Amino acid sequence: MSIDLSQFHQVFFEESLEGLDLMESALMELDVSHADIDIINTIFRSAHSIKGGSATFDFKVISDFTHVLETLLDQIRDGQRKITKDHVDLFLQSVDCLKHLLSLAQDNSLEVTEDASALQKQFEAILEGDSPSVEATSHIVDGSNIESNDSSECWDITFHPSRDMLQTGNDGIRLLSSLKALSDSDIYEITCDVSEVPSFEFLDPEACYFSWKIRCSGDIAYDEIKSVFEWVEDDSDIIISKASPEEPHSMAQPEVAKSDAPAEAVSTPTKKLKGAKPSSENTFIRVGIDKVDELINMVGELVITQSMLSQLSDLVDSAQVPRFGEGISQLEQNTRELQESVMRIRMLPISFSFNRFPRLVRDLSAKLNKNIELNINGESTELDKTVMEKIGDPLVHLVRNAIDHGIEMPEERVKAGKPPMGVITLDAFHQGGHVFIQITDDGKGLNKDILLSKAIDKGLITESQALTMSDEHIYDLIFQPGFSTAKAVTDVSGRGVGMDVVKQNIHALSGSVDIKSKLGYGSTITIRLPLTLAILDGQLIRVGDNIYIFPLVSIVESMECDADNVSLLAGGKRVFKLRDEYVPILSLGEVFNIQSDNTSIDGALMVVVEYSGHKVGVIVDELLAQQQVVIKSLEKNYQQVMGVSGATILGDGMVALILDVQSIVSLFSKQKNIEGISLLSSANKAS
C-alpha cells in the first residue's frame, strides 16, 4: 500500500499555523514568575503536534527544529527547569521562524534558514548547559549481545506474562501468531505451561495463568523477536536465547497448546446500542471561500429577482389574487434573512486581526524602551474575511505609529504628570451597518502648529490656507502623501510613506478614517468599514437615459451649481468655489460621451465626491434613490472598464454601473489631455 501523504499537507500547514498562533498568545499570557502549568502545557502541545506532523509528513527541517524546542519545553513542563524571560523571547522568535519555515514548505522550498540554525544553536546551548539527564531505559532480559549474520537462526523463547496482561488488551494468541509470522521454516513449536491455572472455584476469568515456551527458526533477527514482545516486556518474564536446532526441547510441560487457548475465550463483550450513532462533534467545517462566494452570488441574484417580483406585485389585482401581496412580503423577509445568514458565513471575529497586537506592542515597546499596556475591546465583533485581511496592514501601521510617535518615553510622561506606563486601546464595534475600529493612545497628541508648518514646508498647503483650516483638516494632513511627522526616520514607523497608503487602503475598502487628538492627552484614530464588500450603499444618479451608482461613502454633498461660483481656467477646465475651496468640475455626460439633459452649467446638479482627500464636483442630471446594491464584478464577467468599479442589477432588471471616482477623474484628465494631478493642483492654485 502506498499512500500519497501530500494530500494531508494543506491540513498540516493550516493546523500548524493555528497552533503557532495559539503558542504565541499563550507565550504572551505567560507570567514567568508564576508560570501556569496549563499555559505551559498548551505551548508544549503546539510544539509537540508540529513536530509529530512534520516528522510524519517528512518536513525534516521543521521536525529537527521543533525537536529542540520541544525538549526544552518538556523539561520546563516536568519542573526540571524554570522558565525564564529569555526562554519566552526565544520561543517567540521560534514561532516566527517556524511560520517562515512552514511558508517555505508550502512553496516546496524548505531549507534550513539562518534564523533556524541560529535559534537551534541557542536552544542546544541551553539544553547542554546543565542538562537534566533524560535516558531511555530498556528492560529486556538477556540476549542483547546476541548477534548473528547467519541467515537461519533457531530461537528458544520463554514467555511468562503477568496475570493481568489481558486487561491491557494484549493477547497471548496474537503475540504468538505475530511471532509465527516471522518464522518461515517448519520449525515452530509452542508448549503451553498450564501448571499455574488454579481450580475452578479460584479461577479469575480475567487473569492469564498461562506461560509459553516457543521454539522458532528461520531468518529472524533478535530485534524482530524483541519487538513482538515490545508492549509486554516490562511486566512479563521473557527469555530469548539461541538454540541449536538439533538440541532436544528441555521443556517441562509437554502439553501442546492448540490455537484455542481457553483463557483467551474471555472476549470483549459486544453489545450494540440501538440507534446509537458515532458522533464526531466537529463544530467546524472547512469550506473553500469560492463556494461561499458562489452562494453569496446566488443569493444576490435571488434578492434581485425578489425585488423584481415586488415591483410587479403592484400590477396584480389584489382582489383577484388576494394572498399575492402577503406571499411577496414573506418572500422579501425570507430573502433578506437568507442574505444575512449567508453573509454571516464570511464573517470572522476581529480577534483574528487583533491577536497579533499584544506581541507587536510587547516587541516594539521593548525596542523603544517604552512602557506600554495594550487594552483590547470588542474582539468578538465580526467582520468580512476579505475586509479583515485587507485592514490588517493598515492597522499594524497605525498601532506602530501610536507606539512610536504617540506614547512618550516614561521620563517624559512623568514630567507631564502622567503615569509612566502608556496605554494603547484597540476597540471594535458595530454601529449602523458599519464596523468601527478605534486606536486610542494616551500619548502626546498631535501638535497642530507643527503639522501646519510642516505642511507649508512641504508645499502641501499655503500659509493663507493654514489660517482657515479646521482641526479636522489639519489632522488629516498626516494622511497626505509625503507627509511624516517623525523627526528622524526610525525602523519602527518607516519613512512616512505609510499614512497615505493607510488611507488609500481604507478607502479602497469603501471605508473612511479620521483622527481626533488633544495635545498632551493623546489621539484617537477611528476607522469606519463596511460590514461586507459584497453589498454597497449606493446613491443612484441619472445622466440622460443611464443610471449610475456612486458609493455613498464617497459623496460629500450635492448641490445646484451656481454659475457665479464657477470659474473657467486655461485649457477649458472649470472649478467651483465651494466655500473656501476650489473644486474641479467634470460632467459625467462628457466623460462617458452620452447625451445629458442639461447643457448649461448654471443650475446643473452637482455631486461633490471625494477620493484620496481630493474633492471633485460631478455634474449629473438627477439624484434618484439611495439603496443597497449587490456588487457584480465586471472584470470577472466582462473586462475592466475605466471609470467603473463594478455593476449591479436594479429591481427592474436593469443593469447599472457603479462609478469609481478616482478612475473617472483620470479618464476625464486623459480626454482633456491633462494630468489628473494638474487638474487638482490647478484648483489649488486658483485659491
Q: Distance between CA 290 and CA 174 in Å, rounded?
A: 50
Q: Which residues contact 667 (CB under 8 A, 6 or more apart)?
A: 591, 642, 643
d(CA 387, CA 612): 19
Asked whether 440 and 376 are in contact (CB, 8 A), the reply is no
Among 34, 271, 487, 579, binds another protein (CB under 8 A): 271
Residue 167 binds another protein, judged by CB under 8 A? yes
Q: Residue 354 CB, nearest distance to another protein (Å)?
A: 23
Residues 6+ apart with CB under 8 A from 594: 543, 544, 545, 546
Separation between Cα atoms, residue 550 and residue 553, nearest integer Å: 8
Among 3-11, 125-133, 151-159, 422-430, the segment contacting another protein (CB under 8 A): 3-11
Shortest spacing between CB 272 and another protein, in angstroms: 6
The grid coordinates listed for 504 are: 488609500
> Among residues 129, 254, 278, 417, which is the contact residue for another protein, using CB under 8 A?
278
Give the separation between CA 687 and CA 488, rounded to whole angstroms.
33
- The C-alpha cell at 82 is 524554570
Smallest gap from Cβ 262 to another protein, in A, equals 15
Assess 234 for contact with another protein (CB under 8 A): yes
Whether the CB-CB separation of 222 and 287 falls below 8 Å is answered with: no
> 250-269: which residues touch another protein (CB under 8 A)?
266-269
C-alpha cell recorded at residue 81: 527547569
Q: Which of 309, 205, 194, 307 is nearest to 257 (CA)?
A: 194
Q: Does residue 599 bind another protein (CB under 8 A)?
A: no
DSSP state of 445: -
Nearer to another protein, 234 or 389 (CB): 234
Q: Which of residues 38-57 bind another protein (CB under 8 A)?
A: 42, 44-45, 48-49, 51-53, 55-57
Nearest residue (CB) to another protein, 27 versus 364: 27
Q: Which helix (H) or strand (E) holds 71?
A: helix 60-77
List beta partners, residue 238: 159
Regarding 15 and contact with another protein (CB under 8 A), the answer is: yes
Identify the three-state secondary structure at position 158. Answer: strand
Of 276 and 467, the one with the shorter C-beta distance to another protein is 276
Size of the site for another protein (CB under 8 A): 58
Site string (125-144) toward another protein, x via CB under 8 A? -----------xx-------
Q: Which of 272, 323, 579, 636 binds another protein (CB under 8 A)?
A: 272
- Window 307 to 366, contacts with another protein (CB under 8 A): none
Strands 644-649 and 622-630, how do they pair? unpaired
Positions 280 through 299 that interact with another protein (CB under 8 A): 280-282
Contact string 184-223 vs another protein (x = CB under 8 A): ----------------------x-----------------
Q: Which of 168, 329, 333, 453 binds another protein (CB under 8 A)?
A: 168
- 3 scored as a contact of another protein (CB under 8 A): yes
DSSP 534: S
Min dist CB 344 to another protein, Å, is 24
Stretch that binds another protein, among 69-77, 243-251, 295-303, 414-422 (CB under 8 A): 69-77
Determine if 169 is a binding residue for another protein (CB under 8 A).
yes
Contact between 219 and 154 (Cβ < 8 Å): no
DSSP state of 405: I
Q: Taking the complex as a whole, how short is the minimal distance between the CB of residue 25 and another protein, in angstroms?
A: 14
**CA atoms within a 13 Å half-sphere pointing along the CA-CB vector of 242:** 15
Q: How far does Cα 189 stand from its chain's mean position?
A: 61
| Cell 479646521 -> residue | 470
Q: Which three cell numbers stand for residue 605?
A: 446638479
- Please pick, from the candidates 67, 359, 448, 577, the single residue that binds another protein as defined by CB under 8 A: 67
The residue ranges that bind another protein (CB under 8 A) are 1-3, 5, 7-9, 11-12, 14-15, 42, 44-45, 48-49, 51-53, 55-57, 63, 67, 70-71, 74, 136-137, 166-171, 174, 178, 206, 228, 230-231, 234-235, 266-273, 276-282
